[in-house]
Structures are given as C-alpha cells and as structure tokens.
C-alpha cells in the first residue's frame, strides 16, 4: 500500500529554505558593503559573494516602467498562493513525492523573494529612489556571484563581446533547483497516475465489463 504524503512535511521544507534565505540576506545586508568594496572571493574570480540590490526579477533581470516593480510584486504574491494551492492538491491526489518536494522548493524561493519585495523597502530602506511607496518596492538582495564566462562570441554569432556572470540568491537557487529536477525527472514524476484518475479508470473498466456481460 502506498504511504500517504503529509502536507506539513513539504511546508516544513519550504519554511526551512525561507528562513535560511532570509538569514543569509540579512547577514549580507548588515555585514557587507554594496558592490566591489565588500566582495568576498571564495574560489578565485569564478565564485564570489558580492552584495547587490536587484529591483527586478531573478538573476538580475529587470522590468521597465515605474509600475513594473509593483506589477512584479503582485504577480509574485499571486504566484505564491497558486503554488501553495497546487502543492496541497498534489498531496491530496497522492502525486509522486519527489514532485511535491520540488514544488516545495519552488514555493520557498517564491516566498523568499516576495518578502524582499514587500517588506525590505520599509524595514531595510532599500526602495529605489523615486518609488511611489516603500511598500512592495523593496529590492531583492542578491549575493551569489558566478563569473562563468566573458569574451567575444564566434564570428558566425556576430563576434560581439558578451559577459555571463549571474548574481542571485538562495531563493533563486531554490526555484532553479526545483524546476530543473522536475524537468529532468518528469517521466518518473508524472508516470504514476494521480489517485483520482485511477479511480475513474477502474470505474470505466467496471462499466465496460458490465455492458459486455449484458
């Protein structure tokens, strides 16, 4: 008999990641200077702790317009509610536990960055200059700096100079890991029919047998 998943276990994972994410962000905020002056090299120039403020999306991406940040924050709030609801549905339907663990990681990352966007502008005073309000305009704290590659693209790609050095945080990493594992393991995660589908299938089979017998 398949062991039932308990929803609270997945929420505990989300909570643990959120606490870790916020603890790291606050440690960076209160103990490091912004930019190069406070940079800490871990593995040469390849992996560094580099404190930056990100007013936009994950990995330093940004939205334009003065209302872009507000729209992004509201979208994150709605997405967070949707992800939490989806995780509860997966547990009720006895979905593959690995899938639910991944969704818990995605939920944690979403909440982690929502907290920054919603409250940091007020409590850390890091809302961008000109923001209409400090609420919902907080800048996300990023600190994990991977200097992957920089140089000129091949001539057949235009030969332009290009630099690939994402700066992100624990919440971004949690989302990335959750999504990546789902993509890699999708055949296993979605191989098992959801419980309700099994019931429907058995009911249809019973009805078909009854029809043939008559």
Q: Which residues are catalytic?
A: 142, 172
Q: State the Cα–Cα distance between residues 205 and 178, nearest whole angstrom.
A: 36
Q: Is-contact 159 178, C-beta < 8 A? A: no
The SS3 of residue 41 is: strand
- Per-residue DSSP letter, 154: P
Q: State the Cα–Cα distance between residues 50 and 33, nearest whole angstrom.
A: 9
Location of structure tokens 């050095």 = 165
Helix axes of 97-115 and 7-31: crossing angle, nearest 10 degrees: 30
Helix axes of 7-31 and 170-184: crossing angle, nearest 10 degrees: 140
């Amino acid at each position: 008999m398949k062991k039932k998943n308990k929803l609270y276990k997945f929420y505990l994972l989300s909570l643990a990641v959120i606490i870790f994410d916020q603890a790291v962000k606050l440690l960076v905020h209160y103990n490091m200077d912004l930019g190069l002056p406070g940079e800490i090299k871990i593995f040469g120039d390849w992996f560094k702790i580099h404190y930056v403020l990100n007013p936009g999306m994950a990995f330093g991406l940004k939205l334009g317009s003065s209302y872009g940040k507000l729209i992004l924050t509201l979208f994150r709030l709605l997405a967070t509610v949707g992800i939490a609801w989806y995780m509860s549905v997966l547990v009720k339907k006895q979905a593959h536990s690995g899938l639910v663990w991944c969704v818990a990681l995605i939920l944690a990352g979403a909440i982690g960055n929502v907290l920054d966007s919603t409250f940091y502008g007020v409590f850390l005073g890091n809302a961008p200059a000109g923001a209409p309000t400090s609420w919902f305009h907080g800048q996300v704290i990023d600190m994990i700096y991977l200097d992957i590659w920089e140089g000129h693209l091949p001539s057949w790609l235009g030969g332009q100079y290009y630099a690939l050095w994402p700066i992100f945080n624990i919440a971004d990493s949690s989302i990335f890991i959750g999504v990546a594992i789902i993509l890699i393991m999708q055949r296993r995660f979605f191989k098992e029919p959801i419980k309700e589908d099994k019931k429907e299938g058995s009911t249809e089979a019973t009805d078909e047998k009854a029809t043939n017998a008559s």
